[in-house]
A and B are shown apart, each in its own frame.
Chain A
Amino acid sequence: MVFSSLIFLFRFLPAFLTIYLLTKERYRNLVLFLASLVFYAWGEPVYIGLMLFSTVLDYANGRVLEYARAAGQEHLARGILAESVLINLSLLGVFKYSGVLPLPIGISFYTFQTMSYTIDVYRGEVPAQRDLAAFGAYVSMFPQLIAGPIVKYKDVAKDLENRSFEAGEASAGIGRFCIGLGKKVLLANQIGLLWEAVQQIPPGQMSTLTAWAGSAAYALQLYFDFSGYSDMAIGLAGMIGFHLKENFDYPYSSKSITEFWRRWHISLGQWFRDYVYIPLGGNRKGILMQIRNILIVWALTGIWHGKGWNFLIWGMYFGILLIVEKCVLLKLLKRLPAVFGHLYTLTAVLTGMTVFALEHLGEGLRWLAMMFGSSGCLWNGQSVWLLSNYGLLLLFCIFGSFGFGKKLAGYPAVWAISLFLSVAYIVDASYNPFLYFRF
C-alpha cells in the first residue's frame, strides 16, 4: 500500500487510527504490528514471510546477545552479531542485487533497522527488547516501512515502551502528513511529468535549456517525493506518539556538498556514520585512513541505492567530491561569497543526480554533454513550450526546496487545502477515459 492512494487515506488510516486509539495502551504495539503486516501484505503478500523471518530472527539475536553479555561470553556475543549482520546483508544481497527475484518493498530499510538493533544491543547501548510485539512494531512500523527514514532502535526504544496519545502531537502529525502528501502528489508527481516529457525528446532536438530543465525537474521530483514520504512517515508516527528524527533539511540550500549530505536523507548518512565510518576509525587515524573510510562509506552508500553500476559511480562521485572539499575546497568556499557555494553545490548535485537517474552510463554521459552545451543550441521552441507549461510549478518547487514556504506549512488551513487538492490529483490519476474515446 502507498500513502498516496485512496485505499490508504479512506480505509486503512481511519480504521487503523480508530482501532489503535480504542485499544488499551499495553496492546497498542501489537495493534501497530498487525496493522503494519496488513499494510505490507496488501500489495505483496508473499514477502510477509521474509519480514516475519527477519523480525523473529533479530528478536532472538537480541535476546541471546543480552544473555551472552550478561554471562560474559564475549565470543558468543560476537558470533551472534556476525551472524545477524551476515544474514541481513545476505537477504539484501539475494533480493536486491541478484536480480533473480522481485525486490521486496522496503527491504533496504528494514534490514538496516534490524542491523542497527543487534549492533546497539551488542554495544550495550540499549537493552534487548523482550516483547516480540514491540520489536515487531519497530521493524515493520508502517509509517516508515517502505521509504524510510531509517529509524535506529535506540531512537524509538523509549517510545516503544511508553507513549500516549497527545492531541498536540497528533495534530502536528496530521499537519505534517498532509503537507507531505501534498509534496508527493502535487509537487513531485507533477514536476516529474516535466522530466518524463524531456526524456522523450530525441537527442537531436534537445537544447541546453531543456536539458537543464529536465535535470532540475528530476532533482526536484526526487527531493519532494522522498522528503514528502519522510514527512508523511514522521507525521503518521507523530499521530500515534512516536518521535522520529528529521530526514531532510532543505538540502538544496546548501553551500557545499559536505553540507548537502548533512541535510539529505539524514538517517542514512547517520547510519553509515555510526555503523561503518566510525567503527573503521573515522577521522582519528590520519588523513589517508580518513580518505579510505570516506571512499568505503560512499561506495556502500551508492550500492545501497540500487544494483546498477551508475549507483556505485554516483556514490564514488560524491565520495571524491567530499574528499576534495575536506582537503581544499571548503576553505576556499568560505572565503568566497555565498552565491558561489550555492552555484557550485547545485551544479555538482544536478550532475550527480543525472548519473543517478540514467541507468546506462553512456546515456548519462550524453546527457551531461547536452547540459554543458553539446547540442549547440541554447534554447528552442520546445524549451519555450515546456517552460510555459511547467515554469510556474518549477519556480514553486525551487522556492519550496529552499525552504521559502516553510511558514505556510504551519497553518491548518494549508493542511486542509493540501489534503483536498491531493485527493483531487489522486482521483484524476485514476481517471482514464477509454483509449478509443476519440472515435
Chain B
Amino acid sequence: MKKGRKETVICLAFLLVLYALWAVDFLYPDRLYSDWEKRMLAQRPALNRTDVLNGNYGKNYEEWLTDQFPLRDRWVSVKTRCELLLQKKEINGIYVGKDGQLFSDQERTADWDRLEMQMRDQYGAWNVSRIRVPAAGAVLTDRMPCGLSFPFVEDRVWENLNRHREEYIYYRTDHHWTMLGAYYAYEAWAEDQGLVPVPPEKLERKTVKEDFLGTHYARLHYAEKADAIEVYDPGVSCQVVYDLGKSDLQGLYQAELLDSEDAYRYFLDGNHPVLQIETGQGEGHLAVLKDSFANCMVPYLACHYGKITVIDPRYFRTDIPAWLQGQEVTKILIVSQDTVKAE
C-alpha cells in the first residue's frame, strides 16, 4: 500500500511541476528586449488562418515561448555550471581559462585594411598610424585553456602589453581591454610617433565600478570573479560633441551607464558614429577611426592634440575620406581589434 502511495505522489508531483512552470510563465510579464542578449525578443504571435495552415504559427509560438521563458538567465547559468563540472573549456563560444579569465574569438568588425589604404593615399603614409588590438588570449597566454592558442603579430603594441601581462590589462568577463591595457598600447604607439606619453604617475586612478559583468558573462551567466572598471584619467577637460550635435551627451565618461547591463559604455557612451572633441591641449587635429576598443583610449590621446574627431566606420554612414576632407585633419589613427580565432 505504501508503495502505491509513493507512486501516486510521483505522478502528482510531475504534473504539478509541468503546471507550475506553465503558471509561472503565464504570470511572468513578456519583455520586449533582452539587455543581456541585446536583441528584441519574440512576442505572442497573432492567430490567423494562413499562419496556422503553413505551420508558421506553430513555429512563432514556440519562439515566443522560449524567448519569454521565465528566468532564462538562471537556466543558462545552471547549464554553464553543469558544463564546467564536465570540464568543458568551450561553452557557448567562450573559452574558459585559468583564474576566472574568459576568452573569445575576435570577429572582423570592418574593412580596416582598406580604410588604412585610403587614409594613406589621402594623408600620406607618415601621417597614418594603426593600433591592432591583440586578442586577450594572445597576451594572457598562460591563462588560456590547455591546447588552445590565439595567433598574433609581435608588434610594439603587443610587446608592451606582453611586458605588463601580469597587470589587470584585460577584463575577465568582457571581451575588451581595461583602460590600463589601453594605456600600454597608447604608450607604445606614442613612443613610435615621437610623442612623450603621459607618465603613469600623472594619471588619476579611481575604481568606478566593482561588479562589472561584461559580454562574456552575458553568454555564460557565470563568472568566477566579477571585474572592476578602473579609470586612469589624465585630467584633460574636454568639450565633446556627440553625433554632430544631434545628441546632448557631454564629456568622455558617462557615469549613469555604470549600472546598466553594458557598463563598458561608460567610456564615450559606447559606439557613436562620430564624436568631436576640443581639448585645448596644443596643436593638431587627430582623426581616430576605431571600434569599441578605442573608447577607453581616447582620454590619453586628448593629451596630445587640440582637436580629435572619433569616427566609428560601422555606424558612420557617410563616405569617410570625403567627409574628412573638409575637417583639416593632420593625423590619422586607426584602432581596431585583430581578427583572430583560437586554434
Contact = CB atoms under 8 A, between A and B. Distances in A.
A167 B62 contact: no
Interface in A401-439: 412, 419-421, 423-428, 430-434, 436-439
A392 B87 contact: yes
Contacts of B61: 7
Given A168-B7, A433-B219, A421 B62 contact: no
A43 B55 CA distance: 5
A14 B19 contact: yes
Nearest to B37: A433
A139 to B, nearest CB: 21
A285 interface: no
Contact of B11 (A13, A46, A167, A382): A167
A45 B54 contact: yes
A389 B90 contact: yes
A381 B4 contact: no
Contacts of A6: 62, 65-66, 69
B198 to A, nearest CB: 28
B86 A439 contact: no
B218 A17 contact: no
B19 A171 contact: no
A439 B69 contact: no
A439 B82 CA distance: 28
Contacts of B63: 430
A362 B3 CA distance: 58
Interface stretch (B71-79, B184-192, B226-234, B325-333): B71-79
Given A43-B59, A45-B55, A174-B10, A427 B75 contact: yes
B292 A439 contact: yes
B220 to A, nearest CB: 10
Interface string B1-19: 0011011101100110111
B21 to A, nearest CB: 5
A170 B13 CA distance: 12
A207 to B, nearest CB: 13
A188 B322 CA distance: 55
B148 interface: yes
Nearest to A436: B38
A427 B76 contact: yes
Contacts of A348: none
B10 A412 contact: yes
Contact of B39 (A18, A172, A174, A433): A433
B88 interface: yes
B125 interface: no
Q: Report the contact-size class of chain B (Cβ under 8 Å from the partner).
A: 35 or more
Contacts of B37: 431-434, 437
A390 interface: yes
A431 B18 contact: no
Interface string A369-408: 0000000000001101100111111000000000000000
Contacts of B67: 430
Contact of A384 (B4, B17, B146): B146
In which size bucket is the chain A interface?
35 or more
A237 B147 CA distance: 46
A423 B67 CA distance: 14
Contact of A385 (B3, B14, B147): B147
B53 to A, nearest CB: 5
Interface in B81-126: 82, 86-90, 92, 104, 106-107, 109
Contacts of A45: 52-55, 58
Given A6-B65, A174-B10, A421-B78, A14 B87 contact: no
B147 A438 contact: no
Contacts of B146: 384-385, 388
Most buried by B among A11, A389, A434: A389
Given A385-B148, A425-B79, A433-B218, A11 B4 contact: no
Given A393-B86, A412-B10, A433-B36, A10 B22 contact: yes
B306 interface: no
A393 B88 CA distance: 9
Contact of A167 (B8, B82, B291): B8
A7 B65 contact: yes
A349 to B, nearest CB: 25
Nearest to B90: A389
A434 B291 contact: no
Contact of A10 (B18, B39, B78, B90): B18
A438 B15 contact: no
Contacts of B36: 433
B160 interface: no
A434 B55 contact: no
A127 B153 CA distance: 78
A91 to B, nearest CB: 20
B215 interface: yes
B90 A174 contact: no
Contacts of B147: 381-382, 384-385, 388
Interface in A30-75: 42-46
A93 to B, nearest CB: 24
A439 B104 CA distance: 13
A86 interface: no
B53 A439 contact: no
A392 B86 CA distance: 6
A13 B21 CA distance: 12
A412 B39 CA distance: 39
Contacts of B86: 392-393
Given A168-B4, A392-B87, A424 B76 contact: yes
A412 B10 CA distance: 8
Most chain B CB within 10 A, of A6, A167, A385, A438, is at: A438
Given A14-B15, A389-B89, A438 B39 contact: no
A432 B63 CA distance: 12
B44 interface: no
B133 to A, nearest CB: 13
A278 to B, nearest CB: 40
B66 A438 contact: no
Contacts of B17: 419
A338 interface: no
Interface string A1-25: 1000111011101100110000000
Interface string B161-201: 00000000000000100000000000000000000000000
B11 A170 contact: yes
Interface centre among B4, B14, B61, B80 (most CB of A within 10 A): B14
Given A430-B63, A436-B38, 5 more contacts: A17-B15, A44-B55, A45-B55, A433-B37, A439-B109
16 contacts: A1-B58, A6-B69, A9-B18, A14-B22, A168-B3, A171-B7, A171-B10, A172-B7, A385-B148, A392-B87, A419-B17, A424-B78, A430-B66, A430-B67, A433-B37, A434-B37
Interface of A: 1, 5-7, 9-11, 13-14, 17-18, 42-46, 167-168, 170-172, 174-175, 381-382, 384-385, 388-393, 412, 419-421, 423-428, 430-434, 436-439
- Shortest 4 CB-CB contacts between residues of A and residues of B: A385-B147, A430-B66, A434-B39, A427-B75
